[in-house]
Amino acid sequence: MTVTCAQFKRDFLAEIKTLYATTLNDTSPLDQLIALGHLVRRYDGPNWAKTARAYQTQHRKQVYYFSIEFLPGRLLMANLLNLNLVTTVRHGLKELGLDLDQIRQAEPDPALGNGGLGRLAACYLDAMASLDIAGNGNGIRYRYGLFKQLFINGYQVEMPDDWLRNGNVWETRRENKSCIVRFGGHVWLQPQANGTLKPQYRDTDDVLAVPYDVGIVGYHNSVTNTLRLWSAELPPNADHTYYSQAQRDQIDDITKVLYPDDSNSAGQALRLRQEYFFTSAGVQSIVRHFCAHHHGMRTFAKQVAIHINDTHPTLVIPELMRLLMDEHHCSWDLAWALTRQVMSYTNHTILQEALETWPVALFQGLLPRIYQIVAEIDRRYRAQKTPVFGAALVDQTAPLGNGQVRMAYLAVIGSHSVNGVAPLHTELLKKDVLHGLYQVYPERFNNKTNGITLRRWVQLANPPLARTLDARIGNLWRRNPRLLKTLLAYQYDQGFLTELSQVKLANKQALAALVAQRLGLQIRTDAIYDVQVKRLHAYKRQLLHVFEILREYFQIKDQPTAPFVPRVHIFGAKAAPSYHYAKAIIKLINAVANLVNHDPVVGSRLKVVFIPNYGVSLAEVIIPAADVSEQISTASKEASGTSNMKLMANGALALATYDGANVDIIQAAGAKNEYPFGLTVAEVYRYYQRGDYRARDFYRGNPELKRIVDSLVDGTIPGISTEGREIYDSLLRYNDEFFVLADYASYVAQQRQISQDYQDQTAWQRRALANIAASGAFGADLAVARYADDIWQVPHDRLD
């Protein structure tokens, strides 16, 4: 996109005048943001239209990425970057007396996700557009999204995140693309004159699904794809008097909030409603679009790929079956063949509680026609597979079992591809979680290691680093991050290593300023910034990190004058509202922060920073400032992790278990450039098999550890009488499900090593360099290219 600075200024002032009928000095940064957003959209509009047209005329196969979460982050800078407008806009605004960095802060973060799952979806949309893949996102436009997190007295308090209050300049309501989604009622199959059966519905609750489209701009390639987010409304022309307030509320509720509920149970029916709502609307719009440009359904699978991001959108399978059979007169066999060719599924977790199942009664009552189809999939699966694999295996893997609809099994059976998100995770799927289905369909299983977009996580989040890299290795890494490995030539270049530490210092200063402003806390910038940012979950073991803080605290208290390498421990994490234990950990972190941060003996040497309301925008400030990347999940539990990749690309060294993609990171950067520790998957599984893990033995055998565990209940840490006891019990009474005590010794050994190593800045920065250099292998473009080649079978641009 080429616009001169002068042109931009004229356009911007015109936009201000049109929107606000006033002059620039009468507008707020928010007004300016909205005007700028409109202008960017105007500049990009021709690309968006042209992209859609080109896909049609070229009969390009479309990829539809279905996800219950999308975490795109603020879009202004990302769009400017990808349109190559950053410099023009920055200068233009400056000449008008405005500051782009101030305006960009006025943009709210879309509250459409919770964690890695949603951020991955956003990285992949960006990568699809940048690789010229005809890729579409399909999700829910949550009115309040996830919650806004506050800490009150150290406790997490959830407030509605009213992110749409000032509208969303990036979205376009497409009411003419709406469709009806049916819930409940009764359905029966009516014989037709031609001998077929047609479902008839009575007493259904109909909901109007209205799409809001957001443009997803590709990097310097004039491609703009679409993220389609659905909002639930009253059907048009409905007799409004017919809808009770309760019914209206029920419709409103469907797209009101994202249920991040990892621990499940609460709001189960609503969750199922949400899932069917966006899958049905999405599939309807896909089929409608296809039919507008093709005759008959036979070529459907050549033109369409549908990706199921975790189990939440699995109902795309029976919904497509329904549409093909009920609306487009396909036979079961044709519909089933097309469905399997079109569908592919990514699993993101091996945690049993995150593999969704629905009680049959709930499912059948809410989705009677879909239930019939699932029951028929189940019947046929059993009939076909029992003779080959035996009743036991088939029973154990069928879509229906134990009175439940098993979403992950349905997803595998109805797809041609099932992938895990790191090699280790994929192996665990085959050997353990989906072992039965792996026996039935071994050819479907494959690995696609996650990736992140360095456009956002380095170019936008860390401009000083990006500039430093450009100066040494040229700027082609911006298109092809694999070129970052050429940095290795500078491993022994003292000047460059010094520059890297200056870059880190600048980023720490920025974070320290944010911490001072938000928390009123001073943190020194010569300390080690030890960062753990991710959802709060027992398996991620924020608790182990707290133990290290307590160890350091006791060390200082015991020997106040002994040398101590300063540390700042930085957390960002939200707990699912109903996840009681995770909330207890939040309270603990805040209580420890309170204790440590105000202790005069400790002074500035040790600080604990827990910044509330972690999200993409905060991550963009925290991650570039990190020295140490805490990736300390119990081996086998973290499917991949993606903050590990972002931190690596920003030069943090990983303190990491051999879990998820940590394994690949350690291998790519070299173990000597990271801090691996802890039980391996084999060791964890051995404990499971033998049943001989005794947390108490570790507690008793290590006085330092015992003191820390005891401090949870002996009054050392004020304010946690309830939570401290709960956590204490989880460790000793309930035998420490996530092996925190088992991993303590090897974890703190590496932490000690870190304190020692950090003092040699040259050696440290050399290892940071090794991490940055190796991070290109984890670029989202590479990951998405592998999906395109192996799973979706769509063409794409090459990176080199």
What is the contact surface with ligand 475 in residues (CB under 6 A)?
A: 114-117, 120, 260, 262, 310, 348-349, 354, 421, 450, 638-642, 660
DSSP H/E element including 500: helix 494-519
Query: By beta-carbon distance, which residue lies closest to ligand 475?
Result: 116
Which one is catalytic: 119, 348, 385, 767?
348
Q: For ligand 475, give the closer residue by CB, 576 or 717.
A: 576
Supply the minimum distance, in Å, between the C-beta of residue 118 and ligand 475. Answer: 7
Q: Are strands 404-406 and 400-401 parallel, antiparallel or unpaired?
A: antiparallel
Which one is catalytic: 534, 587, 605, 607?
534
Supply the minimum distance, in Å, between the C-beta of residue 245 and ligand 475. Answer: 30
- Structure tokens of 206? 């109909």
Which one is catalytic: 255, 314, 346, 642?
642
Write the CA distances from 728 to 78, 413, 543, 554, 637, integer angstroms: 45, 43, 11, 18, 22
**% helix, strand, coil for the chain, step of 5:** 55, 15, 30
Q: Are strands 606-610 and 445-447 parallel, antiparallel or unpaired?
A: unpaired
Supply the minimum distance, in Å, between the C-beta of residue 627 and ligand 475. Answer: 22
Supply the minimum distance, in Å, between the C-beta of residue 183 and ligand 475. Answer: 21
Q: What are phi and psi of 776, to 5 degrees?
A: -60, -25
Q: Judge contact between 664 and 678, C-beta under 8 A.
A: no
Q: For ligand 475, give the closer residue by CB, 114 or 178.
A: 114
The rounded distance, in Å, linking the Cα atoms of 794 and 790 is 9
Please calculate the CA angle 475-476-479 and round it to the nearest 5 degrees: 115
Q: Are strands 197-202 and 186-191 parallel, antiparallel or unpaired?
A: antiparallel
Q: For ligand 475, give the closer residue by CB, 29 or 359.
A: 359
Supply the minimum distance, in Å, between the C-beta of residue 685 and ligand 475. Answer: 18
CA-based nearest residue to 741, from 691, 778, 782, 707: 707
Which one is catalytic: 540, 569, 587, 605?
540
Supply the minimum distance, in Å, between the C-beta of residue 71 and ligand 475. Answer: 10
Q: For ligand 475, give the closer residue by CB, 284 or 642.
A: 642
Q: For ligand 475, give the closer residue by CB, 115 or 313.
A: 115
The rounded distance, in Å, linking the Cα atoms of 96 and 676 is 51
Q: For ligand 475, give the closer residue by CB, 37 or 641.
A: 641
With 0-12 / 13-18 / 19 or more C-beta atoms within 10 angstroms meaning exposed / middle / buried, residue 407 is: buried
Active site residue 583: no
Strands (E), 192-292: 197-202, 205-217, 224-233
Supply the minimum distance, in Å, between the C-beta of residue 527 and ligand 475. Answer: 28
Supply the minimum distance, in Å, between the C-beta of residue 662 and ligand 475. Answer: 10
User: Which conformational region is residue 167 in: left (phi greater than 0), alpha (psi within -120 to 50 degrees), or beta?
Assistant: left
Please calculate the CA angle 437-441-446 and round it to the nearest 5 degrees: 95
The rounded distance, in Å, linking the Cα atoms of 307 and 682 is 32
The rounded distance, in Å, linking the Cα atoms of 159 and 148 is 5
Neighbours of 657 (CB within 10 A): 30
Active site residue 540: yes
Active site residue 798: no
Three-state SS for 783?
helix
Which one is catalytic: 535, 537, 607, 766?
535
Q: For ligand 475, give the closer residue by CB, 171 or 262.
A: 262
DSSP string across 379-415: HHHHHHHHHHH-HHHHHHHSSEETTEEEHHHHHHHT-
Supply the minimum distance, in Å, between the C-beta of residue 529 and ligand 475. Answer: 22
SS (H, E, C) 169-200: CCEEECHHHCEEEEECCEEEEEECCCCCEEEE
Q: For ligand 475, give the closer residue by CB, 406 or 767.
A: 406
Q: For ligand 475, give the closer residue by CB, 78 or 354.
A: 354
Active site residue 348: yes
The rounded distance, in Å, linking the Cα atoms of 527 and 523 is 8
Q: For ligand 475, give the closer residue by CB, 354 or 538.
A: 354
Supply the minimum distance, in Å, between the C-beta of residue 232 and ligand 475. Answer: 19
The rounded distance, in Å, linking the Cα atoms of 182 and 367 is 8
The string over 564-597, giving b where at least 16 C-beta atoms fall within 10 Å of a residue's C-beta and e elsewhere, is bbbbbbbbbbbbbbbbebbbbbbbbbbbbbbbbb
Supply the minimum distance, in Å, between the C-beta of residue 544 and ligand 475. Answer: 17
Q: Judge contact between 11 and 4, C-beta under 8 A.
A: no
Which one is catalytic: 646, 766, 767, 796?
646
Q: For ligand 475, give the closer residue by CB, 109 or 233.
A: 109
Catalytic machinery residues? 348, 534-535, 540, 642, 646
